[in-house]
């Protein structure tokens, strides 16, 4: 598919498996966020669910046949009865009030029982396993678990039996950016397909395609007298660097104007680099994350505010890490000791790890600024600004 860029190795592995007629019943697609893992799973589903998509007839993930067929249209409209996408947000549509009212921070085992593996849930209902039902179309079933690392240990252990004794013509895709959070027993029962960051040529192609799509949208919006914000060349150059080979991250950075984050934080980062302590930096970062979370929930009807706050903080940490890495590289290239900046990188990583616990975000960010300034400034010389 033209939508999948820069993943030739993963696509070669998957197409070879399709051509062999022995496609593995369970796959883990791992790699950085926003590089095409979920999109690829959907494109593989096109071949697996459509009897006209025969690899022997030349169909492949990059070159599906009969794109406008009934089955392909059902997949495009997300209404194919044998294509099941499982995300934490599905809990909002459960008949189980306990699931509907919980915070959408993980994929609970009861949701997995309702939507895939069957069994008794916390509301004392017994659910038939959708994975073992006869395919509605008579040509297989596909289950895609997005952000599979959000399955807790109980959920992963409950999934094991289905992976060990899979129903015929039923395929499972676990999409994750953190495969180490999946149990070893889960990983051992799946084919692991790794996705990498896009190289410069692939990213350039993605930006060109996005520019073309934006021009088309601008023409439509002009007719509707609507306003469409287009990033400046300076913003686009920074976003390309920030995305680090991830079109998904680039899209989020553009939509939520992360370049404005950079402009807001630049003076404070300069103070930190000079060994000073910017008093307002922690509060500023917390505000930026909060604004992102509010906008995200507004744009995504079923989104969790708590999850959006954590996601915004992760984007912020990515931005800080990029800044610190650039300082470290400058020190190394200049032949200077870079130990201090290596320690700051570890401080950012530690803050990101602490984010997974229920700590107060503002306090976490303020503490990071304090530790950062102390690491940079010579003993006793730190000044506030």
Residues 116-162: tens digit of each pLDDT = 999 998 899 999 999 999 998 878 999 999 999 999 899 999 999 99
Q: What is the pLDDT of residue 302?
A: 74
For the chain, the average pLDDT equals: 88
Tokens of 84: 């099941």
Which pTM value belongs to this model?
Answer: 0.86
What structural domains and CATH numbers belong to the chain? 8-194 (3.40.50.300), 227-384 (no CATH)
Percent of the chain with pLDDT over 70: 91
Tokens of 39: 């999109």
**Span 294-320, average pLDDT:** 90
**228 falls in which pLDDT band (50, 70, 90)?**
low
Estimate the share of the chain in helix, then strand, then coil, as percent rounded to the nearest 5: 55, 10, 35
Would you mind telling me the total number of residues written for the chain in this entry?
385
Helices vs. strands in the chain: H and E counts, helices first: 15, 9
Q: What is the pLDDT of residue 383?
A: 60
Residue 238: pLDDT over 80:
yes
Q: What is the pLDDT of residue 384?
A: 60
Residues 6 or more apart in contact with residue 19 via CB below 8 angstroms: 55, 56
Q: What is the pLDDT of residue 197?
A: 95
Distance between CA atoms of residues 25 and 351, nearest Å: 38
Q: What is the pLDDT of residue 379?
A: 43
Q: What is the pLDDT of residue 101?
A: 80
The model's pLDDT over 323-344, given as tens digits with 9 standing for 90+, comes to: 999 999 998 999 988 899 999 9
**Span 65-82, average pLDDT:** 82
Tokens of 241: 């660097």
List C-alpha distances in Å: 78 to 82, 296, 302, 340: 10, 22, 17, 50
Q: Around Cβ 281, how many Cβ atoms within 10 Å?
A: 24
Q: How would you classify residue 182: left for phi > 0, otherwise alpha for psi between -120 and 50, otherwise beta?
A: beta
Lowest mean pLDDT among 228-237, 250-259, 266-275, 302-311: 228-237
Select from 23, 327, 340 the least CA-distant residue to 173.
23
CB half-sphere exposure, 320, CA atoms < 13 A:
29
Residue 63: pLDDT over 70:
no
Tokens of 254: 């553009």
Distance between CA atoms of residues 5 and 43, nearest Å: 13
Q: What is the pLDDT of residue 53?
A: 73
């Amino acid at each position: 598919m033209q939508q999948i860029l820069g993943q030739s190795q993963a696509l070669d592995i998957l197409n070879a498996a399709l051509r062999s007629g022995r496609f593995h019943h369970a796959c883990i697609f791992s790699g950085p966020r926003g590089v095409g893992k979920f999109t690829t799973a959907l494109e593989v589903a096109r071949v697996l669910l459509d009897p006209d998509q025969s690899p022997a007839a030349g169909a492949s993930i990059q070159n599906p046949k009969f794109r406008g067929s009934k089955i392909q249209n059902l997949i495009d409209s997300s209404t194919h009865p044998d294509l099941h996408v499982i995300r934490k947000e599905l809990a909002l549509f459960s008949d189980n009030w306990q699931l509907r009212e919980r915070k959408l921070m993980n994929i609970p085992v009861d949701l997995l029982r309702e939507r895939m593996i069957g069994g008794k849930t916390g509301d004392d209902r017994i659910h038939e396993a959708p994975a073992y039902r006869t395919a509605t179309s008579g040509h297989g079933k596909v289950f895609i678990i997005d952000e599979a690392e959000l399955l807790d240990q109980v959920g992963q252990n409950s999934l094991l039996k289905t992976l060990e004794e899979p129903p015929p013509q039923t395929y499972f895709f676990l999409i994750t950016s953190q495969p180490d959070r999946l149990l070893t027993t889960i990983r051992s029962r799946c084919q692991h397909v790794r996705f990498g960051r896009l190289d410069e040529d692939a990213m350039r192609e993605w930006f060109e395609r996005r520019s073309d799509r934006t021009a088309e949208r601008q023409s439509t919006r002009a007719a509707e007298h609507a306003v469409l914000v287009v990033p400046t060349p300076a913003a686009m150059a920074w976003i390309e660097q920030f995305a680090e080979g991830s079109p998904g991250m680039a899209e989020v950075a553009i939509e939520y104007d992360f370049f404005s984050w950079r402009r807001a934080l630049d003076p404070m980062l300069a103070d930190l680099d000079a060994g000073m302590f910017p008093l307002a930096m922690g509060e500023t970062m917390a505000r930026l994350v909060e604004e992102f979370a509010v906008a995200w929930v507004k744009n995504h009807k079923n989104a969790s505010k708590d999850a959006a706050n954590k996601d915004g903080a992760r984007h912020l940490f990515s931005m800080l890490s990029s800044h610190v890495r650039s300082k470290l590289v400058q020190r190394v290239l200049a032949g200077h000791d870079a130990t201090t900046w290596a320690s700051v990188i570890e401080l950012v990583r530690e803050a990101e790890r602490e984010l997974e616990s229920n700590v107060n975000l503002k306090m976490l960010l303020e503490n990071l600024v304090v530790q950062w300034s102390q690491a940079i400034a010579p003993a006793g010389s730190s000044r506030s600004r």
